[in-house]
Amino acid sequence: MQISKMKHSKKPLYRSVNTRTYGVRHGSGSKSKWERNTKSAAENKSMKQSMHSGQRHGFDYTPLFKFLLSRVGRNWDEVHSEAASRLDHEDPITWMVASDVSEGTPFFRAGESSYFSGLYVDDNKVLAIVDPELTPATMSPFCACCTHTLNGVRLETPYSDKI
């Protein structure tokens, strides 16, 4: 892209993360090698796949999730077209937004300890939150070792190992 075009275009809704530093470990995708070219795969046409695992590393979609949360109450078609134009591919949108409330989840995990509210598209094509009652004050952490966040805000409830 030319520099003059870059000045006037909107920033992408994802960040590139350093994956080359010492100590950064990613799944190699090697489990897919055990699924390819087996006898059961030979009989199943849907199992015919490439040698690549399809894993993508090094992208952080937090800007997308914050963008979608800031657009709650707006027309979904407009929000989707703007988000899709600023992404490398559209899959991360479906992690957060369900096509209707019955398919939506109250929250989803976006990282090791980062959670975001689930969204859905209502009957009027308006973006809405699945569980508006879910807040950092009402959600409890899942372990004691991490600092958990909901929509970028630290959870207020302390961890309790009592079930």
Is the residue at 155 inside a domain?
no
**Domain membership flag for residue 33:** no
Angle at Cα 45 formed by Cα 42 and Cα 50, nearest 5°?
A: 80
Identify which of 70, 149, 89, 86 has the alpha carbon closest to the alpha carbon of residue 113: 149
Task: Note the pLDDT of residue 125.
Answer: 96
Asked if the structure places residue 4 within a domain, the reply is no
Q: Is residue 103 part of a domain?
A: yes
Does residue 51 belong to any structural domain of this protein? Answer: no
Task: Provide the Cα torsion 62, 64, 65, 69; round to 10°.
Answer: 140
pLDDT at 10: 87
| pLDDT at residue number 4 | 43
**pLDDT greater than 80 at residue 3:** no
85 within a domain of the structure (yes/no): yes
Domain that holds residue 94: 59-134
Q: Is it the case that residue 121 has pLDDT exceeding 50?
A: yes
Q: Does 38 or 143 have the greater pLDDT score?
A: 143
Give the mean pLDDT of the chain: 82
The predicted pLDDT at position 59 comes to 85
- Give the tens place of pLDDT for each residue, 8-57: 578 999 888 766 666 666 665 565 566 656 666 666 555 555 555 555 66
Q: What is the mean pLDDT of residues 63-69?
A: 96
Q: How many structural domains compose the chain?
A: 1
Kindly tell me if the per-residue pLDDT of 144 is higher than 80: yes
